Amino acid sequence: MVNAIGFIELSSIAKGVEVADAILKAAESELIYSKATCPGKYTVLFKGDVAAVVASADAGLAVGGPLVVDSVVIPRVHPQVIQAIGLGAVPDRCNAVGVMEFFSITAAVYAADAAVKAAEVELIDLRLGTGIGGKSFAVVTGEVSAVKAAIDAGVKTGSEKGLLVANVVIPNPRPEVFTSLL
């Protein structure tokens, strides 16, 4: 049963590959993805039950050592987080769009989870560092008040380590805005 995700972001591609191997050997975690990102980082995202993800993360962190940039284990992860990673889609209609941008890839993951747990919004994209200079961003949509509440919760969580770049809530966005985001 998948009810947790783990994410480890490293400053070394070679060490990242080794960390991915250690994660999979440590417990019954399943790799969602493991890849190089900009600017020369490596990210590993994995899922499973809470105990397996914690054990896998511990093993990955031990192998990664000082090359770990950031990491997180999210128990009871919201299903939209896993669905939104790299699978952005234009919604049929919406009243508002909110965007949270971070210096850390990991920060976007835990901010997105906090956002979708805080309000009735749809997480339509979670972009993780590839082709955008190592930054990351999460995009939510829904009613204006819900988007504001979600962005507030995500920003609070994602900026705890000082990794927030910017955030915005746009009421009644033009449809072209979504096309440009996805």
pLDDT tens for residues 100-146? 999 888 888 889 999 999 999 999 888 887 777 778 899 999 999 99
Cβ 45 vs Cβ 32: under 8 Å: yes
Cβ 150 vs Cβ 111: under 8 Å: no
Q: Residue 83 pLDDT more than 90? A: no
157: nearest Cα among 91, 86, 106, 83 = 106
53: nearest Cα among 1, 6, 2, 3 = 6
pLDDT at 76 (0 to 100): 85
Q: Looking at per-residue confidence, does 113 or 90 come out higher?
A: 113
Q: What confidence tier does 51 reach under pLDDT thresholds 50, 70, 90?
A: very high
Q: Residue 86 pLDDT more than 80? A: no
Backbone angles phi, psi at 159, to 5 degrees: -100, 5
